[in-house]
Amino acid sequence: DGTVASHPVEGQTQLEATRERLEEELGVTPDQYSDLRVTDKFEYKRYYLDAGLEWEVCSVLQCTLDDVSLDPDEEEVAGVLWAPYERLYENQRWYRQLRLCPWFEI
């Protein structure tokens, strides 16, 4: 799956929810990044194995990570892979063995 899957609660903005999840999942605090912003929003509907249906509206956010030191929560994050977006996008078959979830590929 992708990182920092935030679900804003009533009255919370997407940016606030994302800041929370960055710290909870990766141990990344606001002093480590700048320029956090929403870059896209999309809706998807996918059936996944025998687990059922995912049907969500998702926001895509981007920031500049000035300090790349991470302290991932082991209960949230099974592993970390740094990959340039362009390389991941242009060479998806290289990453197939990771068995990424279908919504990550969107």
Nearest Cα neighbor of 20 from 54, 55, 61 is: 61
Instruction: Domain of residue 86: give its range.
Output: 14-104
Residue 73, domain member (yes or no): yes
pLDDT of res. 20:
95
Domain membership flag for residue 24: yes
pLDDT tens per residue, range 12-68: 999 999 999 999 999 999 999 999 999 999 888 888 778 788 888 888 899 999 999
Distances in whole angstroms, Cα of residue 81 to Cα of each of 11, 16, 55, 96 = 33, 25, 26, 14
Q: What is the CATH number of the domain that holds 79?
A: 3.90.79.10
Give the integer Cα–Cα distance in Å for 104 and 88: 11
Closest C-alpha to 31, from 41, 40, 23: 23
Structural domain includes residue 1? no
Check 10, 24, 56, 74 and give the catalytic one.
56
Q: What is the reported pTM?
A: 0.75
Other Cβ atoms within 10 Å of 56 Cβ, number:
13
Active site residue 56: yes
Number of domains into which the chain is organized? 1
Domain for residue 4, yes or no? no
Residue 67 lies in a domain: yes
